Amino acid sequence: MCGRFTLVVTYEELLEILDKNYEIKSFESNHELPRYNIAPTQDVISIIHDGEKYRVGYLKWGLVPSFAKDEKIGLKMINAKAETLLEKPSFAKLIETKRCVILADSFYEWKKDEHIKTPYRISILDQKVFPLAGLRSVYQREDGSKLHTVTIITTEANQFMKEIHERMPVILTKESEKIWLNLNNQNIQQILSCLKPYDDHQMQSYQVSSYVNSSLHEDENCIKRV
């Protein structure tokens, strides 16, 4: 699964990335950057394509389907398995028009060893900030206000990640990101082919302190190497 991640960049660095990768010239951040411990129910920086251009904004992490009876269901839908997307009503209809990416520079995973869970910070070598594949939804509350939410798609772990956990978030390459975000592309099989484990030779990790276990902790101590 993917239950925590980071975006350890300054606001200026983020603007450079948005301009270089998505031709987005401006963005007003609602949160201080860097982010050291992003957790479910928090707003995450996401990219979509509206058919003409890329757009950036915030989505709440924890998908609430448009037909949900209670928005609290989002707490149970922070991840979606790539292998079963078409089988789940909550996700199947979103694949055509609600694809997006979430920006991160690393994610955390906990290695289970008997009764101990040890946290690791995992990143990739060939990109400072990388896109995680996601699906988004719009839920209308009884008062008429709209809630924009997102889930992060996971896949089976590659050989590198298997040492830590059996699953990992889908990290898109530059090529697969273009396919994933192109809503003019309705070739479902090609779209789903993007959802595969990242090249294990391009990944790195190190152990961090259990300090990161609490989502209330949001500072550089979260990423300090043990």
> Does residue 220 lie within any of the structural domains?
no
Q: Considering Cα of 106, then 4, then 59, then 199, what sign does the dihedral take?
A: positive
The predicted pLDDT at position 1 comes to 80
pLDDT digits (tens, 9 = 90+) for 175-196: 999 999 999 998 999 999 999 9
> Does residue 225 lie within any of the structural domains?
no
The predicted pLDDT at position 125 comes to 96
Look at the chain and report how many structural domains it folds into: 1
Long-range contacts of 14-22 (CB under 8 A, 24+ apart): 14/45, 14/103, 14/129, 17/103, 17/128, 17/129, 18/56, 22/47, 22/54, 22/56
100-to-122, 144, 181, 214 alpha-carbon distances in Å: 22, 24, 6, 27
Q: Rounded to two decimals, what is the model's pTM?
A: 0.97
CA gap 134, 63 in Å, rounded:
10
> Does residue 76 lie within any of the structural domains?
yes
> Does residue 170 lie within any of the structural domains?
yes
> Does residue 86 lie within any of the structural domains?
yes
Residues with active-site annotation: 2, 109
> Does residue 223 lie within any of the structural domains?
no
pLDDT above 90 (res 29): no
> Does residue 77 lie within any of the structural domains?
yes
Q: Which domain holds residue 52?
A: 5-212
pLDDT above 90 (res 114): no
pLDDT digits (tens, 9 = 90+) for 118-161: 999 999 998 899 999 999 999 999 999 999 999 999 999 999 99
- Alpha helical stretches, state H, 113-171: none
> Does residue 226 lie within any of the structural domains?
no
CATH assignment at residue 114: 3.90.1680.10
